[in-house]
């Protein structure tokens, strides 16, 4: 027997919709800025930001792929674009000849440095400004817990089997 799955109550629905709309608007605004100011997609920004953050400014492709929600081919595509623009370089790993080490270039660091202030401005203006200090603390704590829960229950493994429903 399947569990009874009553719909969400209005409070739960409200939180869900608010989350989706807020993140959607924020994402839209942030992507618009990154594109206009640095000709970067959000994914590309994320890749560069991770590299800038990483020790010595380099990471293996696999490490990058694990952090993002992307397929490997998609990552190769995006990294290829960054490579063409001279924002990163790729080199074989000395430890493991199969691996590729991605490194930020000075140009890549410069671009992030140039784009970051405007990025932060948008985030502050849209997300931070309307919140009180208490709101901020609460939001960070709650979403932090939710994130941990989501990481522990990855949606991908929640549906390991591609068993398609037969025509009902």
Residue 120: HSE in the Cβ half-sphere, 13 Å Cα cutoff: 7
From the list a second copy, DNA, none, partner contacted by residue 20 (C-beta under 5 to 8 A by kind) = a second copy
86 CB-near residues (< 8 Å, 6+ apart): 105, 107, 108
CB distance 64 to 104 below 8 Å: no
Residue 6 as a binder of a second copy (CB under 8 A): the answer is yes
Among 74, 86, 117, 140, binds DNA (CB under 7 A): 74
CB distance 118 to 37 below 8 Å: yes
Neighbouring C-beta atoms of residue 31, cutoff 10 Å: 16
Instruction: Give the shortest CB-68-to-a second copy separation in angstroms.
Output: 9
Per-residue exposure over 13-23, b if at least 16 CB sit within 10 Å of its own CB, e if not:
eeeeeeeeeee
Instruction: Give the shortest CB-146-to-a second copy separation in angstroms.
Output: 5
From the list a second copy, DNA, none, partner contacted by residue 41 (C-beta under 5 to 8 A by kind) = DNA
Interface pattern 86-125 for DNA (x via CB under 7 A):
----x--x--xxxxx-------------------------
Interface pattern 55-94 for a second copy (x via CB under 8 A):
--------------x-------------------------
Instruction: Give the shortest CB-154-to-DNA separation in angstroms.
Output: 14
CA atoms of 146 and 81, how far apart (whole Å): 33
61 CB-near residues (< 8 Å, 6+ apart): 72, 75, 76, 79, 99, 100, 102
In the bound state with DNA, the residue whose beta carbon lies nearer, of 1 and 163, is 163
Interface pattern 136-155 for DNA (x via CB under 7 A):
--------------------
């Amino acid at each position: 027997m399947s569990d009874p799955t009553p719909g969400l109550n209005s409070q739960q629905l409200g939180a869900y919709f608010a989350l989706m709309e807020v993140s959607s608007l924020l994402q839209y605004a942030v992507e618009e800025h990154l594109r206009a100011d640095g000709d970067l997609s959000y994914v590309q920004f994320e890749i560069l930001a991770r590299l800038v953050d990483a020790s010595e400014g380099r990471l293996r492709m696999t490490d990058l792929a694990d952090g993002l929600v992307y397929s490997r081919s998609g990552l190769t595509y995006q990294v290829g674009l960054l490579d063409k623009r001279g924002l990163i370089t790729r080199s074989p790993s000395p430890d493991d000849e199969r691996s590729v080490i991605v490194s930020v270039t000075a140009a890549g660091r410069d671009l992030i440095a140039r784009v970051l202030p405007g990025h932060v401005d948008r985030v502050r203006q849209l997300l931070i400004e309307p919140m009180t200090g208490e709101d901020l603390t609460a939001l960070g704590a709650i979403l932090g817990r939710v994130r941990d829960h989501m990481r522990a229950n990855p949606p991908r493994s929640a549906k390991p089997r591609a068993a398609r429903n037969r025509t009902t």
